[in-house]
């Protein structure tokens, strides 16, 4: 278990983070623990190897696309900790496809992670939150929910769906004291982005042109996204529900000149 700080923004909270073994999810796990939460990471892969403090009891190997695994993971968290205060639906995959050549199976597999997984996790956390009339869900969407780039249509469609899911759940569960918000990162330096750079014909030139396209001259770090997620998840954001906040170093505020 990440050793929680006794006083922090998330002090005494029980939080579930999906896809917490690397990238943005790993930064969220670290930040939440530093803010006092007890954090359980549900990931398909291994627990972060360089985090000895992250004991197996707080890592549950789970494929968020499989309802039976999600249901059993959430039940295990409630059994161990008595409740779930915060759910962060972070697990996601990139998708580079053309609308004509993409197969139905490929579409289903992208949507299973990027959209269905968030619903399944919410489905199996909401009953516990409802009982206590309290809870906070944060969905990690993407700048692709509002702006996109060529060749990524299923990712843009799934992330737009995730923002829609956020609004609908926020509306349905607001009377029950449960908040549901989205954080939409822009380019963030993780495995997904490094992979994209490496796939370009001239990776160094591609990286430089992406930096130049950002008004701040750089892309975000996972820690910067995690800071925003911690605020949105916390009681400090108690009046906020159904919102979608960008962390994109200004990319979404200008058109090409
Ligand atoms: N990196 C970016 O620039 C960026 C930008 C916008 C949005 N996002 C979103 O942020 C989230 C995290 O992205 P990242 O860059 O850290 O990705 P990443 O690939 O570095 O990490 C994703 C994590 O999710 C886990 N995961 C994947 N499929 C899973 C499944 N079916 N069940 C459980 N866990 C699963 C992986 O094992 C991995 O640990 C994703 O939802 C992504 O779409 C990332």
Cα(40)–Cα(2) distance, integer angstroms = 9
- Segment 147-206, tens digit of pLDDT: 999 999 999 999 999 999 999 999 999 999 999 999 999 999 998 899 889 999 999 999
Please check whether residue 251 is in contact with residue 215, taking contact to mean a CB–CB distance below 8 angstroms. yes
Decide whether any atom of ligand 1 lies within 6 Å of the 196 Cβ. Answer: no
Domain coverage including residue 181: 14-185+220-247
Out of 111, 155, 173, 196, which one is annotated catalytic? 155
pLDDT of residue 54: 47
Active site (annotated) includes residue 155:
yes
Is the pTM higher than 0.75? The answer reads yes
Looking at residues 115-137, what average pLDDT do you find?
98
pLDDT higher than 90, residue 257: no
Q: Enter the tokens of residue 41.
A: 């990471």
Position 25 in a domain: yes
pLDDT of residue 255: 84
Residue 106's Cβ-side half-sphere holds a number of Cα atoms within 13 Å equal to 14
Position 206 in a domain: no
Decide whether any atom of ligand 1 lies within 6 Å of the 153 Cβ. Answer: no
Cα(93)–Cα(23) distance, integer angstroms = 12
CATH number at residue 181: 3.40.50.720
- The burial class, CB within 10 Å (0-12 / 13-18 / 19+), for 250 is middle
Position 121 in a domain: yes
Number of domains in the chain: 1
Q: Enter the tokens of residue 131.
A: 């009982």
Smallest CA-to-CA distance from 169 within 227, 113, 125 is with: 125
| Helix segments in 82-179, DSSP class H | 104-111, 117-123, 126-132, 153-173
């Amino acid at each position: 278990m990440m050793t929680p700080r006794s006083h922090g923004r998330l002090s005494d909270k029980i939080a579930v983070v999906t896809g917490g073994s690397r990238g943005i999810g790993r930064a969220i796990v670290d930040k939440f623990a530093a803010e006092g939460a007890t954090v359980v990471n549900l990931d398909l892969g291994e627990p972060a190897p360089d985090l000895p403090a992250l004991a197996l009891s707080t890592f549950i190997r789970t494929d968020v696309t499989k309802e039976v695994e999600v249901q059993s993971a959430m039940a295990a968290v409630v059994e161990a900790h008595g409740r779930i205060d915060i759910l962060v639906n972070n697990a996601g995959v990139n998708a580079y496809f053309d609308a004509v050549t993409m197969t139905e199976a490929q579409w289903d597999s992208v949507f299973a992670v990027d959209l269905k997984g968030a619903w399944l996790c919410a489905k199996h956390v909401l009953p516990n939150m409802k009982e206590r009339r309290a809870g906070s869900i944060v969905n990690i969407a993407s700048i692709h929910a509002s702006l996109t780039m060529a060749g990524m249509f299923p990712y843009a469609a799934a992330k737009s769906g995730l923002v829609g899911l956020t609004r609908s759940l926020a509306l349905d569960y607001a009377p029950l004291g449960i908040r549901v918000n989205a954080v939409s990162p822009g380019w963030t330096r993780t495995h997904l982005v490094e992979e994209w750079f490496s796939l370009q014909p001239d990776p160094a030139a591609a990286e430089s042109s992406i930096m130049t396209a950002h008004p701040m001259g750089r892309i975000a770090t996972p820690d910067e996204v995690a800071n925003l997620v911690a605020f949105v998840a916390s009681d400090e954001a108690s009046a906020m529900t159904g919102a979608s906040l960008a962390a994109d170093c200004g990319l979404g505020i200008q058109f090409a000149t």
